[in-house]
Amino acid sequence: MANREPMIELIGLGKTFESKNSYVKALEDINLTIYEGEIFGIIGLSGAGKSTLVRCINYLERPTTGKVIFDKTDLSEVGDRELLKIRQSMGMIFQQFNLLMQRNTLQNICFPLEIAGVSVKDAKKRAYELLDVVGLTDKAKAYPAQLSGGQKQRVAIARALATKPKVLLCDEATSALDPTTTRSILELLREINKNLGITIVVITHEMSVIEEICNRVAIIDESRIAEIGDVEEVFMRPKSKIARQLVFSGANHIDSFVGEDKCRIIFDGRTSFEPVIANMVLECRTPVNILFADTKDIDGKAFGQMVIQLPEDESSKKRIFAYLEMHKIPHEEVL
């Protein structure tokens, strides 16, 4: 990524919401660069400031401090009119889809083109192209109320792409969808990124979404960036407390096994996980207890993680670590 051009730069970004009797610091000292063509993830718990962050990127929210530089333009320096123009090169999709309920699919996709002043004929032509991209050609005349959640999000994606934006901002775009639909929408985003070269910013509270499509990720916690890096790196060696919490996601309860030594084993696709555990147990001659497992079988390779409870006696413990070291299986002791 380093050789690519920066697409979005956030410098010392801060946002405070002030009203008569309240004062909320939603963002503080956010510094990050998103490069052209990457899929960048922003993850955090609810209320961390993710939506505020993404709304600052297209200046729907004006930052109180710091700068947003989009495609070499400092957004704080452009006039209102120019800002509207710039927004046409940043598409955005939402958790609740936000389609116009009184317009059919085709009219929804034409909407941003009408805003941009494109002729009706050209807008329709473009809309049909996009319907093809998102695979909904047969739903051109359907109204949002007649579509499923996944189909609505596809329409929203087509709509966001209508003005040929350079960036697509996705705020919890799959959070209202079931796992299968989520996967198909993420697949579509990946295709769009690959085929159209559009930079994608994915906001989510689910680590699985980040793992599925992102190249890099920023973890945001209590208004600040806690950690930032390549997804694999963050996933395998989470440094901050919040990162560990998100990586473990469903396995928060592990912390409650106090006083017992645990080990997290990471499956990075180089091995198939079954023999790892089985062989380890055989070789080390000690049984292990699996506390948590979240693994996926992709083309016969294991991805994911597993937390095992280590045996009490030190020698068995050493043997297990020796085994993991020897087979170069990424792992870490969890205390």
Partner 1 sequence: MFSQAMLELIGIGILETLYMTILSSVLAYILGLPLGILLVITDKDGIAPMVTINRIIGFIVNIFRSIPFVILLVALLPFTRMVVGTTLGPNALVVPLVIGSAPYIARLVESSLKEVDHGVIEAAQSMGASPSQIVFKVLIPEAMPSLIMGGAIAVITILSYSAMGGFVGAGGLGTLAINYGYYRYQVNIMLITIAILVLIVQGFQELGGRLMRRFDKRL
Minimum gap (Å) between residue 315 Cβ and Mg ion? 50
Nearer to ligand ADP, 18 or 297 (CB): 18
Q: Quick check: 120 binds partner 1 (CB under 8 A)? A: no
Instruction: Give the chain's length.
Output: 335
- Identify what 49 binds: Mg ion, ligand ADP, partner 1, none; CB under 5 to 8 Å per kind: ligand ADP
How, if at all, do strands 22-35 and 167-171 pair?
unpaired
Q: What is the DSSP string of 17-74?
A: EEETTEEEEEEEEEEEEEETT-EEEEE--TTSSHHHHHHHHTTSS--SEEEEEETTEE
Q: Quick check: 309 binds partner 1 (CB under 8 A)? A: no
Q: Return the residues of window 171-190 that contact Mg ion according to CB under 5 A.
A: none
Nearer to ligand ADP, 34 or 263 (CB): 34
Minimum gap (Å) between residue 278 Cβ and partner 1? 50
Closest by Cα among 152, 154, 225 to 186: 154
Instruction: Quote the CA–CA distance of 67 and 141 in Å, as a whole number.
Output: 42
Q: Return the residues of window 155-174 that contact partner 1 according to CB under 8 A.
A: 156, 159-160, 163, 169
- Identify what 26 binds: ligand ADP, partner 1, Mg ion, none; CB under 5 to 8 Å per kind: ligand ADP
Nearer to partner 1, 10 or 169 (CB): 169
Binding mask 32-61 for Mg ion (x = CB under 5 A): -------------------x----------
Q: Quick check: 153 binds partner 1 (CB under 8 A)? A: no
HSE (side-chain half, CA atoms, 13 Å) at 254: 25
SS3 for 250-280, per residue? HHHHHHHCCCCCEEEEEEECCCCHHHHHHHH
Closest by Cα among 301, 302, 280, 298 to 289: 280
Number of residues that bind Mg ion (CB under 5 A): 1
Minimum gap (Å) between residue 137 Cβ and ligand ADP? 34
Give me the residues that bind ligand ADP (CB under 6 A), please.
17, 24, 26, 44, 46-52
Q: Is-contact 155 97, C-beta < 8 A? A: yes
Q: Quick check: 309 binds Mg ion (CB under 5 A)? A: no
Minimum gap (Å) between residue 132 Cβ and partner 1? 21
- Identify what 24 binds: ligand ADP, partner 1, Mg ion, none; CB under 5 to 8 Å per kind: ligand ADP
CA 335 to chain centroid: 28
- Identify what 119 binds: ligand ADP, Mg ion, partner 1, none; CB under 5 to 8 Å per kind: none
Cα separation values, 248 from 52, 107, 245, Å: 25, 43, 5
CA 79 to chain centroid: 31
Minimum gap (Å) between residue 184 Cβ and Mg ion? 22
Q: What is the DSSP string of 100-143?
A: -TTS-HHHHHHHHHHHTT--HHHHHHHHHHHHHHTT-GGGTT--
Q: Which two tokens stand for residue 258?
A: 């106090």
Instruction: Quote the CA–CA distance of 79 and 73 in Å, as a whole number.
Output: 12
Nearer to ligand ADP, 22 or 195 (CB): 22
Minimum gap (Å) between residue 179 Cβ and ligand ADP? 21
Number of residues that bind partner 1 (CB under 8 A): 34
Minimum gap (Å) between residue 247 Cβ and ligand ADP? 18
SS3 for 149-184, per residue? HHHHHHHHHHHHHCCCCCEEEEECCCCCCCHHHHHH
Binding footprint of Mg ion on the chain (CB under 5 A) = 51
Which residues of the shown chain bind partner 1 in the complex (CB under 8 A)? 58, 60, 83-88, 90-92, 94, 96, 98-104, 111-112, 114-116, 143-146, 156, 159-160, 163, 169
